Structure formats: C-alpha cells, structure tokens
Amino acid sequence: MLRKKIYRYIRPIRQKLYIERSLKVLSWILVIGFGLTCLLAIVSRFIMVVHVTMWMGYVGLVAMATSIMVSAFLYPSVQDGVKLTDHLGMQERLMTALEFEDSQEAAITSQREDTLLHIEDITKRPSYSIKIWRRPWLIAGILFVGTMGVLMVPTSSSKQAAQIEELQEKIIEEMAWIEEKLDQDLLEEKIADAADIEEKEKAIEEALEALKENIEKAKSEEEALKELAIAKNALSEIEKEIAEQLKAQSQEAMGEETALAMEKALEAMGSELHEMQAAINASGQNLATKASISQMAFSGEPSNGSEPSQSSGAMAGSGENPQEGEGEGQGGAGAQEGEGQGASATGSTNEETPMQETTEPQGGHHQGGESKEGIYESLYPPERLGGEADPSFIQGDSQKEGERTYSEVQGVPTEAGEFVRYDTILSEYSSEATRRIDQAQVPPMMRTVVKEYFSSLETSD
Amino acid sequence: MELEHVSEWSERVITEVSAHIIGQEELIEDTIICLMAGGNLLLEGVPGLGKTRLVSVLGEVLGLAFKRIQFTPDLMPADITGTNIYNRDRNVFEFQQGPVFSNIVLADEINRATPKTQAAMLEAMQEKTVTVAGQTYPLPRPYLVMATQNPIEQEGTYPLPEAQMDRFMFKLNVLFPKAKDLAAIVQLTTGTHEPKVHTVTSSEELLEIQELVKTVPVAQPVLDYAMRLIVATHPEQESAPDIIRKYVLAGASPRAAQGIINASRVRALIKGRYNVAFEDINAMAEPVLRHRLVLNFEAMSDGVTVEHLVSELIGVIKE
C-alpha cells in the first residue's frame, strides 16, 4: 500500500530524471559525433574523401542510434527516484518508510504516518526541473559550426572529391534512366510482341482458312496441291519471321529471365507451327489420296500400296527463296520439281519422310492415307535413288524471292474415277519431262534417270 | 510521552531558555539537543557571554539540580568527586559527595585545572558514576556536564587531553551577540526587574525523552553517509579528502559516530520528523567533530579551522 503510493508519488520525478539523463548522454554523444565529423571534415581538406558528407551523416546516425540504445538503460531505479524525491523536500521520509515498512514499532508507525501525510499533501509536493548541462551542448554546437566552416574551405582534394561525386551522381542518374527506360521498353516490347505474335497467329489462321477454302474450291488435285504448296510456303515464312524475331528479342533481352521467356515463347511458337504443319500435312495426305486415284486411272490398274505412289499430275516450279536451297526431287510417278537458291542448305524438301506402305489395295479408289505421306514432302529421298546415301546439298546464296511458275499438264484426269489412255499422254509427258530437265538445274544423274524412265515406258509400249 | 510530543516539549524548553539568554538561539538549541541525547557539552567562548547563566537557566527550566565548579590549577580531584570524611561521632568514614553529584554540572574553565583533576571528570562524564576509595557511586539522572574553556588565555592552562575531549558530545562556540541582542541583554540584566525563570518540565520527562530518542529510525543510506563522514576525517583512510590529509593529524573516534547519530535523531524530532535526514547529519557534524579533529601545525599556520574542514568534508562526501 505505502510502497505503491510512494512509487506513484515518485514516478514524475523518475520520468524527469530519465529525460535529464538521456539529454545528458545525447549531448555528450553529440559532442563525440560532431568531434568525429569535424575531424573527418579536416581530413577531407587534405586527403581526397569522396562523399564526405555522406560519411558524416553515417557518423550522425551512429551517434543517434547509440544515444537511443544507451537511453534505454538510463531509466532511474526506484532508489534513485526515492533519493531524489527525498532530496527535494521529503527529507529521507520515503527511504526510511520503505526500509522499515514491515516494522510495527511505535516510532516507525509514526514515521510511516508522517510520510503518508506528506505524500498526500499537495502543497508539499516536490517539483523537479530538468537540468540541462550547457557545456556539452555548447561544445557540440561549436564543433558543428566548425565542421560546416571547415567543409566550406575549398582545397584541391575537396574539389577532386566534388568532381568525382558529381561524376558518380551523373552515372547513377544515367543508370537509373537506362534502367527505367529498359523497363519501359521491355514492357512496350512485350506488349508489341504480344500484338505482333497475335497478328502472326491471325495471319497463320487466315492462311489456313484460305488454304481450306482454296482446297475446297480446287477443281483439280493439282490446284489443291498448288494451294497447299503456297500455304506451306506462307507458313514457313511466318514461322521463320517469328523465330527470327524472338531470337533477336532474346538476344537483346537484358536479363536471363527475359531470354528464357523468349526461348520458351519460341519453343511454344515452334510447336504451334509444327502442329499447323501437321494439319497441313494431313490435308496433303487427303489430297494425296485423290492423287492416287488419278494414278490408278493413269496406269489402268489398281494402286498397290507396296509401290511408290504416283501422281498423274505434275507440279513444277522454280524460284529463289531464302528458305530453299537447291535440289531436286522425285516421288513416285508424280514429280515435283523445283529450283531455288537460299541461304539455308536444305533441299527443297522440308521433310524427308519415307513413304509408308500399305498392303490393302483399294481398287481404283485407293485412299492413300498415311501411306502417302511424304510424297509431296520428300521428293528426293536418297533411298529411292539407288539405296542409302547421304543427300548432297549445295549451299545456296540468299537472294530475293524468286517467282514461281506453274503450268498445267493437259489431258490428265481432273476428277477422281476419270481414266485416260496411257499412250495418249505418254509422249506429251515424256516431251514435257525432257524439256523441263533441260531447262532446270537438274543434276545430270537425275536427268538420265528421268530419260531412262520414259524410254523404258516407251519400250514397254 | 510519545514522539509526537517531543517536538512540542523541546519548543517549550527552548522558548523558556531563550527568554533569558538573548541572541544565542543556535547555542540553546544545540544545548537542548545535547541534553536530550544524553551527552556532555563543552562550551568555548570569551568570558562574559553568559555560559554560566545558560547552564543555570537550563537547570531551572528543566527542574534539575545545578552545580558549578570553578576549575583552578590547585583544584584537586577530590574537590570535584567528593571524598571520605571521618565522622567522629559515629566513628566511621562517610562519603562526602562532591559537586559532580548533580543533574547539571558546570565545569567552568576546565582547562585551568591540572590533567589529574580533569581526569577526575572522565568517569563521571562517561559512566555517570564516581569511584572513591574503591566505592562506586552512581550519579543522578539525568546527568549533564557542561564545561567551559577560554580560548584566549592560554597561559597557565592545561589543554584537555583527547581522551577527555572525546567524552564531550558537542563542542559549541559561544559567539559574541549582535548589537541588538547585546542591548536586549543589557536591558534585561541591568534593570530593576529581572524575569523569573519558570520550570517547564521535569527530570522524569527528560529521561523519558532520552529513551524515546533512541527509537527514531535511521535509514541505511543516512547511516552509511554519517559513517563515511566520520571515516573520512581520518587522514590515513582512502576516502579522506585531500584537505583532511593535509591538515588533520587525528580523526574522529567511534564516539563521534554515536554522537552524530544520537544528536541527529534529536534534531529530527525537534524539526518535527520521525526519521533522520541527511541534513540532520550535516547539521550535527560540526558540533560533534569540532573538538575531535586534531589539526596539525600546517593547519594552524594556514589558519585552517575545524569548521572549515567539516564544511569541506560535507561537500566532498556524497549523500
């Protein structure tokens, strides 16, 4: 009871004492801090110290932190509070009462009652004014002013330091600007890329739609094949453009993350394109089925799946394309020939897929299905030209896109199930083939093969 | 009597004594304190300042027996303590009590007696007994020895030995009164009408108060402070300040520690407190230490007084 009253009574005194102690500690720490900064300022006048003000700031921060930490341990104890309160007019009543609080002697009881009377007497309440030690504050102020004064004195070292600071600031500003710009550009590029890719996808979709329509509208298989080739070329171009664009972006990207993202996007785009190509191939296979029907008409007998499928129509073209190299191809009875020069060293065939065989003859209406895959893709697989061998390639030069020429061969069946006589078209096919191989840049060996083929037909006839 | 009445009692006594001793309020208060604490008192002052009058008035006010002994070089111990005298009628030696057998004894100019006679006062002052021819006689209670000495006339005097000086709780300086007070003294003592001294208390009350004083609590920090103060008077002690080391030959004895605490208790009660404060210790330090510090020649040559040293000591020793 008495103890609580005494504690409550001395609380304001203790708080003031705490503030006083903290201020005292702060003042002396400031003296030390400003002393150090003054020293630093003096040193910086003779030795080049870059960012001297920053270092001074650090010293100030450390001083403040130290004073705060020290202040945490400065709260006066009860004994200190009691002693000070007693000194302020309680005349050791509080400390005596606390010391003898358990005693029941008459004198002690009287003393306790006397203490309580004094505690409850507002007129006798001791007042304590916080004492400010002027000396440390004065010293700190002088040191501060001295530091500022020293910093204003220009010397060669300080000028050099100022120049370096200025340079560093500029570099930092530039870096910040670059970073900001990069971020902004990257954002814009991402948006643009997304738009671009969407555009490309749209173009691909449109190309596929057009292909679909054209194939449906095609009056003959040749037309369909032509449309298919055109679509394939268009898709290849789009694919290449996207690939190059993404590659360039990934190379330009600053961080690894962006590059990785680009690579992933590239892969994703590639896979999408492959899917589209697979779809086109599927269309090609459908068309090839139709072509097999024509072949049957051409040969007069049902198509055997074990034999290479032949197309009764021929599509020939020549051109210069960056994607196309130089090459020749022949698949089955139908021929697709092309001439071109390109940067890449691939042949005119994009895929070299061996023709799959089927053992189920379908009469005159043989549906080629998957077995016909590769007829229009791999025109010159080496195994068809005398066994296993590495295809030979000639490095093409990157040229402008060449023009494609197409010519229709007359007399071929235009609809499935329509038959013509073999001997009616043989001479025309033979002469056309001879003329074409003379014109085109067909390897001599292949020319011989073509000539021998037609001559063998004539002989057998 | 209870503690609450001590302050009122002392006020009553002081007021009555002050009515007859003009301009010596501090001396009167210290004398009352010493009396209440059960100590002996040494008064030092030039002749004619009312020392004897103070003692006589005090005796009357307190209702105590009072005797005065004028110390002279030819004064013998038996003249003070008393002696055995042959009674021819009864054919026995009977003890004839000396002047020490009184409640208040004024040993006037005590330093004029020989050390042997001065020593005769030792037992009476400390043990409150007198031993003559192997027979110990108790002195009446309360018992107070008030001795005076003249600081000027040193010729033919025997300075009190330290052992005897230590028996006095207080040494008080009787200062010359101010002009205003002096005029009042003259008017009081030279007129036709001299005021009568009233007895305001009894010896029993005084004894009771002396017992009550001992119950006043002293907080440990206050006690520590008083002890540090006493210890610091010894030049060989580590806590002794430089000024003590320089000018003091011998410090205060443990009796000084007892005296300062007892006197502080009384002072606290007189001031209306029931505990000893630091200010009580500081206030009682001078009368308690004044005659107990033995100064060296350097102090005397530099004119350093004990009062100055005590004041310095209080400033140096932290509460």
Kindly state the DSSP code that residue A360 receives in the 8-state scheme.
Answer: -
Nearest-CA distance A117 → chain B (Å): 12
In terms of domains, do A339 and A452 share one?
Answer: no
In terms of domains, do B240 and B310 share one?
Answer: yes
Between positions 17 and 46 of A, the ones with CB within 8 A of B are: none
In terms of domains, do A429 and A399 share one?
Answer: no
Bridge partners of residue B96, in order along the sequence: B83
Q: What is the mean pLDDT of residues B92-118?
A: 88
- Contact between A165 and A51 under an 8 Å Cβ cutoff? The reply is yes
Closest by Cβ to A95, choosing from B212, B219, B273: B219
In terms of domains, do B173 and B303 share one?
Answer: no
Nearest CA in chain A to B268: A91
B142 preceded by a cis bond (ω within 30 of 0): yes
What's the CA gap between A366 and B290, in Å, rounded? Answer: 143
Q: For chain B, what percent of residues have pLDDT higher than 90?
A: 26
Chain A residue numbers with beta carbons less than 8 Å from the beta carbon of B220 are: 99
pLDDT digit string, tens, across residues B217-247: 999 999 999 999 999 999 998 888 899 999 9
Q: What is the pLDDT of residue A375?
A: 45
- Is A179 part of any domain? no
In terms of domains, do B84 and B149 share one?
Answer: yes
In terms of domains, do A45 and A32 share one?
Answer: yes
Domain that holds residue B202: 3-207
Q: Which amino acid is at A232?
A: K
| Domain tally, chain A | 3
Task: Tell me how far CA of residue A257 lies from CA of A228, A262, A457, in angstroms.
Answer: 39, 8, 63
Nearest CA in chain A to B4: A110
Closest by Cβ to A110, choosing from B4, B276, B277: B4
Nearest-CA distance A162 → chain B (Å): 55
Tell me which of B209, B274, B279 to substitute to probe the interface with A (most A C-beta atoms closer than 10 Å): B274
Q: Which of A128, A153, A178 is the last residue of a domain?
A: A153
Q: Which amino acid is at A186?
A: L
User: B161 in contact with A at a CB cutoff of 8 Å?
Assistant: no
Coil, helix or strand at residue B154? coil
ipTM over 0.95: no
In terms of domains, do A327 and A383 share one?
Answer: yes
In terms of domains, do B111 and B242 share one?
Answer: no
Closest by Cβ to B217, choosing from A83, A86, A107: A107
In terms of domains, do A130 and A210 share one?
Answer: no
What's the CA gap between A84 and B261, in Å, rounded? Answer: 22
| Sequence-separated (6 or more) residues with CB below 8 Å from residue B143 | B103, B105, B124, B128
In terms of domains, do B221 and B201 share one?
Answer: no
Divide the 461 residues of chain A into consecutive groups of 10 and give the mean pLDDT of each group: 87 90 91 92 89 89 90 89 88 90 87 88 79 90 92 88 85 85 79 74 78 69 71 77 73 58 64 63 57 45 40 39 41 40 39 40 41 47 52 60 62 63 81 79 78 79 52
Nearest CA in chain A to B214: A107
In terms of domains, do A25 and A39 share one?
Answer: yes
CB atoms within 10 A of CB A221: 28
Q: What is the pLDDT of residue A417?
A: 63
User: B158 in contact with A at a CB cutoff of 8 Å?
Assistant: no
Helix (H) or strand (E) holding B97: strand B92-97
What's the CA gap between B110 and B71, in Å, rounded? Answer: 5
Closest by Cβ to A92, choosing from B4, B212, B277: B277
User: A226 in contact with B at a CB cutoff of 8 Å?
Assistant: no
Q: What are phi and psi of B27, to 5 degrees?
A: -60, -45
Q: What is the pLDDT of residue A370?
A: 43
Torsion over CA: A251, A257, A262, A266 (sign): positive
In terms of domains, do B8 and B27 share one?
Answer: yes
Q: Per residue in A70-84, is it b (16+ CB within 10 Å) or e — as a string?
A: ebeebebeeebbbbb
What's the CA gap between B212 and B206, in Å, rounded? Answer: 10
Between positions 235 and 274 of B, the ones with CB within 8 A of A are: 273-274
What's the CA gap between A66 and A72, in Å, rounded? Answer: 10
In terms of domains, do A23 and A115 share one?
Answer: yes
Task: Tell me how far CA of residue A420 lies from CA of A300, A366, A411, in angstroms.
Answer: 8, 17, 8
- Is A30 part of any domain? yes
Q: Which of A137, A153, A169 is the last residue of a domain?
A: A153
* Per-residue tokens: A60: 């100030």
What's the CA gap between B276 and A177, in Å, rounded? Answer: 77
Q: Per residue in A422-450, is it b (16+ CB within 10 Å) or e — as a string?
A: eeebeeebbebbeebbeebebbeebbebb
- Is A159 part of any domain? no
Between positions 60 and 89 of A, the ones with CB within 8 A of B are: 83, 86-87
What's the CA gap between B78 and B117, in Å, rounded? Answer: 8
Residue with tokens 């650090």: A58
Q: Which of B186, B207, B228 is the last residue of a domain?
A: B207
Closest by Cβ to B216, choosing from A87, A95, A107: A107
| Sequence-separated (6 or more) residues with CB below 8 Å from residue B98 | B78, B79, B80, B81, B82, B83, B130
Please provide the DSSP assignment of A205-250 as one string.
HHHHHHHHHHHHH-SSHHHHHHHHHHHHHHHHHHHHHHHHHHHHHH
- Is A180 part of any domain? no
User: A91 in contact with B at a CB cutoff of 8 Å?
Assistant: yes
From the CA atom positions of chain A, what is the Rg in Å? 49
Q: How many residues does chain B have?
A: 319
Tell me which of A2, A92, A99 to substitute to probe the interface with B (most B C-beta atoms closer than 10 Å): A92
CB atoms within 10 A of CB B99: 16
Tell me which of B212, B275, B282 to substitute to probe the interface with A (most A C-beta atoms closer than 10 Å): B275
Q: What CATH number is given to the structural domain containing B38?
A: 3.40.50.300
In terms of domains, do B122 and B244 share one?
Answer: no
| Domain tally, chain B | 2
- Contact criterion met (CB < 8 Å) for A108 and B278: no
- Contact criterion met (CB < 8 Å) for B277 and A91: yes
Q: Which amino acid is at A15?
A: Q
Sheet with B104-108: list strands edge to edge.
Answer: B66-70, B104-108, B144-149, B40-44, B168-173
Q: Which of B171, B189, B207 is the last residue of a domain?
A: B207
Task: Tell me how far CA of residue B235 lies from CA of B169, B252, B294, B303, B307, in angstroms.
Answer: 22, 10, 11, 18, 16
Q: Which of B173, B207, B241 is the last residue of a domain?
A: B207
Bridge partners of residue B136, in order along the sequence: B131
User: A116 in contact with B at a CB cutoff of 8 Å?
Assistant: no
Chain A residue numbers with beta carbons less than 8 Å from the beta carbon of B4 are: 110
- Contact between A377 and A430 under an 8 Å Cβ cutoff? The reply is no
Chain A residue numbers with beta carbons less than 8 Å from the beta carbon of B2 are: 106, 110
* Per-residue tokens: A164: 């370096």
User: B17 in contact with A at a CB cutoff of 8 Å?
Assistant: no
* Per-residue tokens: A238: 């789009």
CB atoms within 10 A of CB B313: 24
Kindly state the DSSP code that residue A365 receives in the 8-state scheme.
Answer: G
| Sequence-separated (6 or more) residues with CB below 8 Å from residue B103 | B59, B62, B64, B65, B66, B140, B141, B142, B143, B144, B203
In terms of domains, do A305 and A387 share one?
Answer: yes
What's the CA gap between A296 and A332, in Å, rounded? Answer: 13
In terms of domains, do B236 and B185 share one?
Answer: no
Nearest-CA distance A79 → chain B (Å): 10
In terms of domains, do A352 and A276 share one?
Answer: yes
In terms of domains, do B152 and B186 share one?
Answer: yes
Q: What is the pLDDT of residue A87?
A: 87
Closest by Cβ to A110, choosing from B219, B274, B279: B274
The number of C-beta contacts closer than 8 angstroms across A and B is 58
pLDDT digit string, tens, across residues B51-96: 888 888 888 898 888 888 898 889 898 888 898 899 999 988 888 8
* Per-residue tokens: A114: 């006397």
Domain that holds residue A257: 194-416
Task: Tell me how far CA of residue B70 lies from CA of B40, B119, B144, in angstroms.
Answer: 17, 15, 16
Q: What is the pLDDT of residue A355?
A: 41
